[in-house]
Structure 1
Amino acid sequence: MFNVLWGGAFVVVNFALFLLCYRLFGRSGLYAWVGVATILANVQVVKTIEFGGIVMTLGNTIYATIFLATDLLNEKFGERAAKKAVWVGIFTLIASTVIMQMALVFEPHASNLAQPSLEAIFGLLPRLALGSLAAYFVSQLLDVKIFTMLKKAFPKPGQLWIRNNGSTAISQLLDTLVFCSIAFLGAAGFPLDVWWQIVLTTYGIKLIVSVASTPIIYWARGLRAPDT
C-alpha cells in the first residue's frame, strides 16, 4: 500500500516539475527536461518494486513525460521542434553512457566507498542504454509522426486529447516491447514470467500516466512561458 500511495505523490511531483520547467524556461526548458528525464529514467529502471501485487520497474513515470514534452513541442511549435527534442534525448543517452563507462574504469582510492554502488547502478547501463536507445529512437519518431497525422485529422484545440493519447498509446507499446526485450529478456534475475510482468506493468503504467497527463498538456499549452 505504501508504494501505491507514494507512487501517486511521485506522479504529481513529476508533472509539477515538468510544468515548472516549461513555465520558467519555455521551449528550451522542454529540451532540457527531455535530456534530464532520459538520464533519470535509465537510472531508475534498474530498481524493481512491487506495486499493487505486481512487479514493475521504476522510470516509467518520468519516461512518459518525455512523450508529453515532444507532444507539447509538436502542438505549439511543430513537428520539426519535436524531432529536435528526440535527437536531444538520443545524444544525452549516448553521452551519459560513454562518460559513466569511462568513469567506472578509474581505479578507486582505498578509502572510496562509491565504486560498488556506481558499478551496481551504471554497470548495467550499456545493455539498458542499447535497449533504451533502440526503443527511444523508434518510438519517439513514431510518436511525432502519429501526432502530426492526428493533428491534421483532428485539428481542433479541444481534440488535443486525441492527438496526445492516440500517438502515445501506440508508440509506447512499441517502446515497451523493444526496450524490455533488449534490456531484460534472458538477463540474469529476469525469468520469463518476471519479464512478462515487467512488459505488461510497464506499458500499463505508461498508459495510465499518459491518460493522467492529458490535463497537464492542456494546462501547459495555455501557460505563458518564455520564447512561446
Structure 2
Amino acid sequence: MFPDFFQIYFSEHQNLLYLSTLVLDLGLTVLMFRFFGKEGLLACIVLSILLANLQGPKLTVIFSMQTSLGVIFYSSIFFATDLMSEKFGKKEADRAVMMGFSISVIILLMLSISLLFLPSIQSNQTFSTDVHQAFVKILDFTPRFIIGSLFSYLISQRFDVWCFHKIKHWTNGKHLWLRNNLSTMASQTIDTTLYSLVVWWGVVDLETAIQLGLAKMAFKIGIAAFDTPFIYWARSWRG
C-alpha cells in the first residue's frame, strides 16, 4: 500500500511510527466526533474494538519494550468513552460500553465461525490454503483469551465511566485533564490486572506475567496522558 521509501524509513524509525499512529488514531477519533457527533464516537469504539482484536496478536518492540500492537487501538476506546461521557453524559457512555461489549461478542463469535469453513482445494494452487492458515494463526482465539478480554473490557469500561463522573462531581465539572487521566489510568490498571490473571495464570510464570502486565500498563498510561490535548480539542465542539 505504501511506497518503498515510506516503508524503509519507518522500518528504521519504529518509535516515530508508533507516535505517528497514535496521533493519527486519536486525531481521526476527534474528527469523527466533529463531523458525526455521538454516532461518530460509537463508530470509533466499534472500529477500535475490531482493530484491537485483529492486531492484538502482533507483537512489536517500541521504546525497547515488547508490546502488542492492539494496545494503541484498545486504549483509544477509553478516550472515546471519556469524550462520550464529557459531551453526552453517563447514561450514553454506559450505553456505548454495553454496545461495545455486545459487538465484541459478535466479532469473536463470527470470526471463530469463519474458521470452520474449509479452504477451497484446486490442483496446483495453494493460495486458498495459505490464506486459511493465515486466518487460523490470527483468529484462532483460545477460551482463556475470549473470557479474559470480554471480562476485563466490561468491568474496566464500566468503572471508567463511573470514575469519570465521580471525579467530575467532586471537582464541580472543573479539571477535565484530571478526570480524563485518573479514570483512564485506574480503569486501565483494572483491565490489565484482570486480563493478566485470566489469560496468563498458569500459562507463564509469575515473573513473566508481571513483566508483560507492566509493559502493557506503561503504554496504556502513556497513551492516557498523551490523549489529554485531544479531549480538550474536542470538548469545545458541539456534538
Q: Deviations over 1:137-194 (max 9, x none)?
A: 110111111111111011244x10111111111111010111123233444xx55444
- Aligned-pair identity (%): 32
Q: Deviations over 1:77-123 (max 9, x none)?
A: 11000001101110111001111111100111025131111100110
Contact 1:44–1:59 (Cα < 8 Å) also in 2 = yes
The equivalent of 1:152 in structure 2 is 169
Q: Secondary structure at the residue paired with 2:60?
A: strand
Is 1:27 aligned to 2:38, yes or no?
yes
Larger Rg: 2
Contact 1:56–1:197 (Cα < 8 Å) also in 2 = no
Q: Number of paired residues?
A: 222
Contact 2:90–2:165 (Cα < 8 Å) also in 1 = yes
The equivalent of 2:136 in structure 1 is 119
Is 1:202 aligned to 2:216, yes or no?
yes
Which residues of structure 1 form unaligned runs of 5+?
Answer: none
The equivalent of 1:73 in structure 2 is 84
Amino acid across the alignment from 2:180: N
How far residue 218 of structure 1 moved from its aligned partner, in angstroms, is: 0.7
The equivalent of 2:157 in structure 1 is 140
Contact 1:154–1:162 (Cα < 8 Å) also in 2 = no
How far residue 37 of structure 1 moved from its aligned partner, in angstroms, is: 0.7
How far residue 209 of structure 1 moved from its aligned partner, in angstroms, is: 0.5
Q: Secondary structure at the residue paired with 1:105?
A: coil
How far residue 132 of structure 1 moved from its aligned partner, in angstroms, is: 1.2
For 1:45 and 1:213, the matched residues in 2 are separated by 21
Q: 1:30 to 1:133 in 2, by over 3 A?
A: same
Select the structure with the greater relative contact order (CA < 8 A; seq sep ≥ 6).
1
The equivalent of 1:163 in structure 2 is 179
Q: 1:125 to 1:80 in 2, by over 3 A?
A: farther
Which residues of structure 2 form unaligned runs of 5+?
Answer: 1-11
How far residue 15 of structure 1 moved from its aligned partner, in angstroms, is: 1.1
Q: Secondary structure at the residue paired with 1:50?
A: strand
TM-score by length of 1: 0.91
For 2:180 and 2:47, the matched residues in 1 are separated by 21
For 1:115 and 1:192, the matched residues in 2 are separated by 35
Q: Pairwise CA RMSD of aligned residues?
A: 1.7
Aligned partner (choices 57, 71, 95) of residue 68 of structure 2: 57
The equivalent of 1:6 in structure 2 is 17
Is 1:40 aligned to 2:56, yes or no?
no
Detail structure 1 runs of 4+ shifted over 6 Å in the superposition.
none
